[in-house]
Amino acid sequence: MNFFFTEWMINSFMYNFQSAIIFILIFLILGCHNASHIRTQKILEQDETAISIGVITNLGGDTDAYKFHSIRESNNFGGRAEISYLKGSGNSEFGPYAGFGMTTMNFGIIGGFDYRTYSGLYSNNPLKVGGQIEINYTPIGETTGSTIVLKPSITSTTNKKRKYYYGIHGLIAEGVNLSHEAGYFDTNLNQEASSIINYYISSVGGGISFGLETQVLKKYIIQIQLDFSSITNSFKSSFLYPSSAIPYDDMMTNDVLETGSLDYINSYPFVGLSIGTSFFKVKKISNNRTKTPYLIPNKKREYDPQTGKELPNKNSSKKTFYDSEPSKIIND
């Protein structure tokens, strides 16, 4: 009896464990937007640089928001890996970043630029104010095209004593010349068919960020960040399905047929989880700097009160005069 009970417990645990793993993977993959960019919150000194590597994913998102629509991709990669380069200028930081990411079913590449200025630099809690601008490009897949994303942000900063940080962020995205392949059954042809839907998307949202940045070695830090965001998407397309089209029921592989044009708006919250590390490098000061010469005090000069001419120094040694020929010396 105990043997069968133990075996049942083990099988039940393994089943639940596998189900949990599958659920987590699906939960992570179904990311349709990104509002997270993990960067060091440390104030960078003049010419100090930071190279960061981060992995970002979405936890959830409202997949039901796309249930009755063919076009559903924002092309703003929710799951991504990034590498960034930041350089400090004393009162700001800037630099490029690149990476690759994925939406629900497609992979693409990312390129962008960071700029943040330091506000209240000499206060107890200075802020970083700025943001990122990037382009998400999907060359192949069910959805192709480009999306331009702007993410303004204001965050607190960290140092050796202050490891936690927080902030607010916005999200503005504009997808242009996006296309999506939609499948259906054509009753006239009596076979499966598909059409290419060209569409545009505009997204506006915002949220809050919380993070932890801790130093593990002299020049290395580990960082983890959570972003809670809400987004509103506006999809627009002039595409119309053929009158002979019949939709499929399986939403994971195909699409549901809409009547009329494919214009709609949806909104939903989502959470972003980011983990990354940064390496810092301070520009070395050259040892061949010009040394400040020692100041030689001026000799005391005396002047004739009547003529105003300088009087000869009594302590000076005998003057030496040189002839035009360098080998001859004439003494007075």
Domain locations in the chain as residue ranges: 31-281
- pLDDT for position 74: 83
Dihedral angle computed from the Cα positions of residues 269, 273, 96 and 46, in that order, rounded to the nearest 10 degrees: 120
How far is Cα 43 from Cα 25, in angstroms, rounded to an integer?
36
How far is Cα 326 from Cα 244, in angstroms, rounded to an integer?
110
User: Could you tell me the sign of the dihedral formed by the alpha carbons of 145, 151, 157, 162, in that order?
Assistant: negative
Among 283, 285, 274, CA closest to 41: 274
Phi, psi of 310 (to 5 degrees): -70, 130
Q: What is the pLDDT of residues 287-311, one digit of tens each?
A: 554 444 444 455 566 767 766 667 7
How far is Cα 100 from Cα 319, in angstroms, rounded to an integer?
80
How far is Cα 47 from Cα 90, in angstroms, rounded to an integer?
8
Work out the pLDDT band at 253, boundaries 50, 70, 90. very low
Say how many C-beta atoms besides its own lie within 10 A of residue 134's C-beta: 25
- Pick the residue with more confidence: 86 or 121? 86
pTM score, two decimals? 0.71
Among 57, 5, 15, 36, CA closest to 207: 36
- pLDDT for position 275: 92
- Pick the residue with more confidence: 219 or 164? 164
- pLDDT for position 59: 72
Question: What's the full length of the chain, in residues?
Answer: 332
In this structure, of 50-54, 101-105, 196-200, 203-207, the range with the lowest mean pLDDT score is 101-105
pLDDT surpassing 50 at residue 256: no
Work out the pLDDT band at 173, boundaries 50, 70, 90. very high
Question: What does the block give as tokens for 85?
Answer: 């380069």
Mean of the per-residue pLDDT values for the chain? 77
Q: How far is CA 191 from CA 181, 187, 188, 241, 259, in A?
A: 16, 7, 8, 15, 21
Question: What does the block give as tokens for 144?
Answer: 């192709």
Query: How confident is the model over 312-319, as a mean pLDDT?
Result: 57
Q: What is the pLDDT of residues 47-74, one digit of tens each?
A: 999 999 999 987 766 555 455 456 777 8
End-to-end CA distance of the chain: 127
pLDDT surpassing 60 at residue 200: yes
Phi, psi of 93 (to 5 degrees): -145, 150
The bridge status of strand 329-331 relative to strand 320-322 is antiparallel
Q: Are 270 and 30 in contact (CB under 8 A)?
A: no
Which residue in this structure is represented by tokens 């990354």? Answer: 276
Helix/strand/coil for 12: helix
- Pick the residue with more confidence: 320 or 155? 155
- Pick the residue with more confidence: 249 or 99? 99
Fold type of domain 31-281: Lipocalin (2.40.128)
Work out the pLDDT band at 193, boundaries 50, 70, 90. confident
Half-sphere exposure of 248 (CA within 13 A, CB side): 15
Question: What does the block give as tokens for 120?
Answer: 């209240």
User: What share of residues in the chain are helix, strand, coil (percent, to 5)?
Assistant: 10, 50, 40
In this structure, of 132-136, 167-171, 234-238, 272-276, the range with the lowest mean pLDDT score is 234-238
The bridge status of strand 310-311 relative to strand 92-102 is unpaired
Question: What does the block give as tokens for 211?
Answer: 């993070």
Give 82-151 as a DSSP string: EEEEEEE-SSEEEEEEEEEEE-SS-EEEEEEEEEEEEESTTSSS-EEEEEEEEEEEE-SSSEEEEEEEEE
Query: How confident is the model over 113-136, as a mean pLDDT?
Result: 94
pLDDT surpassing 80 at residue 235: yes
